[in-house]
Amino acid sequence: MPYQTVALIGKPQHAATHDTLNSLADYLLAKGCKLLVEESIAEELETENLKSCNLVTIGKEADLAVVVGGDGSMLGAARVLARFDIHVVGVNRGNLGFLTDIHPDEITQQLDLIFHGECVVEERFLLEVEVYRHEKLKSNNSAVNEVVLHHGKVAHMMEFEIYIDEQFVFSQRSDGLIVATPTGSTAYSLSAGGPIIMPTLDALTLVPMFPHTLSSRPIVVDADSQVSMKVSKVNSDSLQVSCDSHIVLPVLPGDEIRINKSADKLHLVHPKGYSYFNVLRKKLGWGSKLY
C-alpha cells in the first residue's frame, strides 16, 4: 500500500465536513492506516484511534493528507505541506473546488483508485513574496494561488513600477496588481480578466486591477523571473500585499515587493480519469448554465 500514514485536515465546525471526516476516518482505519488528525478538527472525530497534531507534524510524518473543504481549506494547508515530501488530495465541501476535486459521494471509489496506485500526481509551484523597506527585509510569506498588491481601502488608486529581472517594464496607476501562478489563474486572476494557464506551464500572469489606462493588459512571464513592484512614495500609507487572500503583509510608500518562485512544490494527487479540461468545463459552466 503506497500510503501507510494518512492525515485528515478540514474546516472546523462545518456539518457536511464533519460527516465526511468521520466517514473517512472509518475508511482509513479499515485500510489499516495510521491516522493523524489536524488539531483544529480532532474533537469532531468520533474515533479514538488517532493522533492530533499540527500541520508541520503532519508534513513530517504523513504520506498522504486528505483535505476536506473548499479551495480555501486546501490553500491554507498547502502553504505549509508544500515544504514536505507529502501527497495531498482534496474532497470538495466548498463551492467551486478547483483544488478539491473528489466529490463527497464518490470518496470510497476515488480513494480506492488512489490506494491502488491508479492516480496522477501533479506538482504545483508556489510563490515567495518579500517586502523590503530601505533595502531591509521587513516581512515575507508564500502563496499557492496569487500575490496581490492592493490598497487597504476600497476603490483607492496607487502608483507603482514593475520590474522583471531588474528590467523596467511599466509604471502604473491602478487599484493594484495580481501576480498569479497557473494554479491561481482560475481564481482571483480569472475574475480580473487574466488568462487561464495550464498547470504544467512554468509561467506567471501579471494582471492589473482596474488600471487608469485602456492600454494596460495582463502579461504572462517566465515563472523563474523575479517580479518586483516598487511602490511610489506619493501613495497614502494603507497599502497591503495579500497571499491567497489569507495572509496580509503591510506595505508603506517607497517599499519594494519582490516575488520569486518558491523551491517548495505542492504534490497534488488526482484519481485516475482526472482531466484538467473536464474540471474547467464543470467549474466554469462551459456549455451550460452557471446557476
Known binding residues for NAD(+): 71-72, 145-146, 156, 173, 175, 186-191
Question: Catalytic residues, which ones?
Answer: 71
Separation of CA 143 from chain center: 6
Q: Characterize 220-244 residue by residue with b for buried, 16 or more Cβ atoms within 10 angstroms of its Cβ, and e for exposed.
A: bbebebebbbbbeeebeeebebbbb
**Cβ contact 279:90 at 8 Å:** no
- For residue 61 the three cell numbers come to 510524518
Calpha distance 79→149 (Å, rounded): 19
In angstroms, the CA 30 to CA 75 distance is 29
Binding residues: 71-72, 145-146, 156, 173, 175, 186-191
